[in-house]
Structure 1
């Protein structure tokens, strides 16, 4: 058995200076943690190795004023003496100790994203005044027994693959599962949402808290709902930001991301068609979409190469175009630049030289749109739910997505995954979500979020009887700290307990101020924007910040 970067030791080993305290609450008995000892967290200065995309200086800045610690948890809660692993935890103490109302656990989503940097990310928000902000890297994630699946694929991903590639794509998925099984061994089947929720409750006890409060994003919303269902008497206030659909675990959730991206591209096309006099992309949405498809085909046949082939930036072919346009259409404030980008690529596909200004703009968007590398924990957690096993059903879905929902991952969102060939049987069923015994929480959802589509927030709020806050005409993912209205509502709830009224909405980021053709109310014709395209793109992306998954 190989577990990369994991600390898996005999359960009888006790760290020097650790203090063991029993757990006896009924909630823990129901959830499988009764009688399992906890160690108080021993806080110390942070000394975590930075990931490759941070410099040491940038990484160190993320831990200024932050404490680091570890707790030890069972690998298998049904057999707690069979082995343990360490979970890395971070803390930023409440800025106003006299007003402190407990701890707020934070999770960024994934599954597979580390949360150790989150306390620093929210230190300027209102929650930092009254809560100790607690980040943690979930089991199987870097700094907490990281799993890996070191299995390279042999097929270049294609957002619109021909049928001839289906068999090779399927074999890639088989090979990935074999590689994950070899790397994860017996530990892998215990890397699950329910077990991460149990780890959170051991963390609660180790922190000496009767209850926790919770703020989770994306997949972290499902994790929070599972925690509340397993430990209802241990959860106080909770916010689920950009919620997963609890009925879409996980194949449908993957497919719906391509559906959401395509909806955004269609909205962009409708907007651009109303401004054909400005952008010249077509007079109807259908014409604009045909323009996109024609350009995509030309780029697939003759990719555009950026000067000197910047490291990590692939030539812009049809698949990269689908990814970039699908991602850019998410951001309403970026629609002007996206329309300009299409015209720029059109000229480059015709043989125009790639100027330094064009190369900078293109590299910026391609880099921002790159597919996130999935750690081994992702391939483990997403297999906790059953996936279809009929390959012909996958192939039929791929054909549909190739035609109807081709943006971002496109047909690959409907393709077989490693979970199609799952090599383990999950030790338990998925948790039945319910809210019994903890206060009503908030679900925050953007209408045009392609990563966790709006329908998911509606269903999650309904299942938990939580209050839904809708962010209108917004494609962003993860709204707290980015949308002022959402931030104010969440702070009011988490800090003061104020629950928003039913039907509460917040406005999303505005669309560009470009008059529609024939708009008699428009002022004088717009002056051409002098600011370079790359600078304008960068300012929008900086305002949104990195996407949370």
Structure 2
């Protein structure tokens, strides 16, 4: 269901709230900056700002928002503040001020990192500790009888968040966070802000621009959500990106059958992967693959990032050979088991952050469980790799009677033209979502092709170098805009800076120098996805 279907009574209430906060949300004051106490924020200054807990009733008390700052290194060229947000919702963002400090924008902006309400060192919104759910959420091909397990997980999570968050939950909304940003702006005595948001941070930036168009200068929306669809509807588009990455990988592998021996067509390659999944389902532990669920998840992970394409194809070839009678390879088994353990550990990591389970419910969400089950069946039966089935499962929003401020509809832009960025294979915010944001705001779209990254500006600042090298095309376009105000002439396309290994297609002469090929086993030693990679 599309956003915008708000009852007249709610609409009147929203308008009254907006009217109450058109003045600065916090009185201008000197912010007490001091060196950040946390070692991982070394080199930054930190401070706190008090903002109303309830913007509809400012007298009801305040909450604390923690912020950080990396001061402009060229004061003579300083052009103001650049607010940042890492996404989530639920990502604490003070670290971003240091993350972007290596970019040329750091010379002309005071880069401001923010722990949004409910996160990090700001007034927290916590869920009670909940039982690990990975064993359910990793089910890649649940039977119809098992679909109800996903509803139980969502319900239990909602109960835990209600216990932990209580009344504060209804004040943790995207609109509330946008108003907090304006309160910080006022506290810093700045007339306007510029903005750089990633993932869910793109939605937050668009909401800020909708509420405070006269206070937004330059803006960059990196890996964008869709302003015309509900949160849940976008999961289906994201799954299509997961499938797109697999298809691109299968096509690449099929063109190199002499190297990998998995067939000459993408259908042959898909059949080889399907055969392994079926074999592991009947023989858990085969070739070190713990179970089918872990394997199906790994397929999505390794076909997403192009630098892993060759190594994953080699892995599939080796497992296929063993299934056909070749001797067992202990190194292969060790690598596959390590990958499975990594996937299971990520899925079972305790999560007390209540912001995602609350702020995503700004959107209208189905309450009928069969709506979720239909989507789960569809992906289970067509493409069950890379977590597609679980992504369509019921969420806490199916059980959360949202009572906070209604979502803000994004309409025609009333502030200066900005930029929208996205990779074509981003499975967390699909390219189609970014296209809709760019169209809605009438802004240029920068697309990175043949790329699975989520967050494409300054990507090496937050990524393992083995899967991300700087994309100078993107960085140059964004820096020219943020520093000099130079917009590109319409939409732009940047090629990936992280291609697959240099293995010539069959019948193609060998040219150039082969790229270093990352080791799949090394990926198992990496930490879980960086918080910037969330929505």
Pairwise same-fold verdict (TM > 0.5): yes
Match of 2:519?
A: 533
Q: CA deviation at 1:444?
A: 0.8
Match of 1:212?
A: 193
The C-alpha deviation readout for 1:470-512, integer Å capped at 9, x for no partner, is: 1122221111013211001000000000000113111113233
Match of 2:21?
A: 32
Q: CA deviation at 1:533?
A: 2.9
The C-alpha deviation readout for 1:110-132, integer Å capped at 9, x for no partner, is: 11111111111111101101001
Match of 2:503?
A: 514
Q: CA deviation at 1:140?
A: 1.0
Match of 1:146?
A: 124
Candidates 292, 310, 316, aligned match of 1:342: 316
1:359 and 2:334 correspond: yes
Candidates 402, 423, 442, aligned match of 1:425: 402
Q: CA deviation at 1:33?
A: 5.3
Distance 1:143 1:173, change over 3 A: same
Distance 1:345 1:391, change over 3 A: same
Matches within 5 A, 1:23-422: 30=19, 32=21, 34=23, 36-38=25-27, 39-48=29-38, 60=39, 62-149=40-127, 150-152=129-131, 156-157=136-137, 158-304=139-285, 316-346=290-320, 355=330, 359=334, 363=338, 367=342, 370-371=346-347, 375-422=353-400
Report if aligned partners of 1:107, 1:217 keep a CA contact under 8 Å in 2: yes
Distance 1:386 1:462, change over 3 A: same
> Aligned to 2:41, what secondary structure does the other structure show?
coil
Distance 1:365 1:165, change over 3 A: closer
Q: CA deviation at 1:283?
A: 2.2
> Aligned to 2:124, what secondary structure does the other structure show?
coil
Q: Which moved more, 1:166-175 or 1:85-94?
A: 166-175
1:498 and 2:491 correspond: no
Match of 2:533?
A: 548
Q: CA deviation at 1:46?
A: 1.4
Report if aligned partners of 1:260, 1:450 keep a CA contact under 8 Å in 2: yes
Q: Which moved more, 1:205-214 or 1:463-472?
A: 463-472
> Aligned to 2:501, what secondary structure does the other structure show?
coil
The C-alpha deviation readout for 1:255-310, integer Å capped at 9, x for no partner, is: 33222112211111111111111101222211211211121223334433999xxx
Report if aligned partners of 1:228, 1:435 keep a CA contact under 8 Å in 2: no
Report if aligned partners of 2:25, 2:182 keep a CA contact under 8 Å in 1: no
Report if aligned partners of 2:20, 2:56 keep a CA contact under 8 Å in 1: no
Q: How far, CA to CA, are the matches of 2:115 and 2:96 in structure 1?
A: 10
Q: CA deviation at 1:147?
A: 2.1
Q: How far, CA to CA, are the matches of 2:383 and 2:19 in structure 1?
A: 43
Q: CA deviation at 1:83?
A: 2.5
Q: How far, CA to CA, are the matches of 1:360 and 1:390 in structure 2?
A: 41
Distance 1:547 1:515, change over 3 A: farther
User: Please, what is the CA RMSD of the aligned residues?
Assistant: 3.0
Report if aligned partners of 1:204, 1:212 keep a CA contact under 8 Å in 2: yes
Distance 1:183 1:273, change over 3 A: same
Distance 1:298 1:103, change over 3 A: same
Q: How far, CA to CA, are the matches of 1:392 and 1:63 in structure 2?
A: 46
Q: How far, CA to CA, are the matches of 1:33 and 1:220 in structure 2?
A: 22
Distance 1:304 1:83, change over 3 A: farther
> Aligned to 2:219, what secondary structure does the other structure show?
strand
Structure 1 or 2: larger helix share? Answer: 2
Q: Which moved more, 1:62-71 or 1:229-238?
A: 62-71
Q: How far, CA to CA, are the matches of 1:217 and 1:122 in structure 2?
A: 12
> Aligned to 1:400, what secondary structure does the other structure show?
helix
> Aligned to 2:102, what secondary structure does the other structure show?
coil
TM-score by length of 2: 0.86
Report if aligned partners of 2:108, 2:483 keep a CA contact under 8 Å in 1: yes
- Aligned length in residues: 499
Distance 1:94 1:286, change over 3 A: same
Distance 1:532 1:34, change over 3 A: closer
Report if aligned partners of 1:104, 1:132 keep a CA contact under 8 Å in 2: yes
Distance 1:163 1:278, change over 3 A: same
Report if aligned partners of 1:153, 1:172 keep a CA contact under 8 Å in 2: no
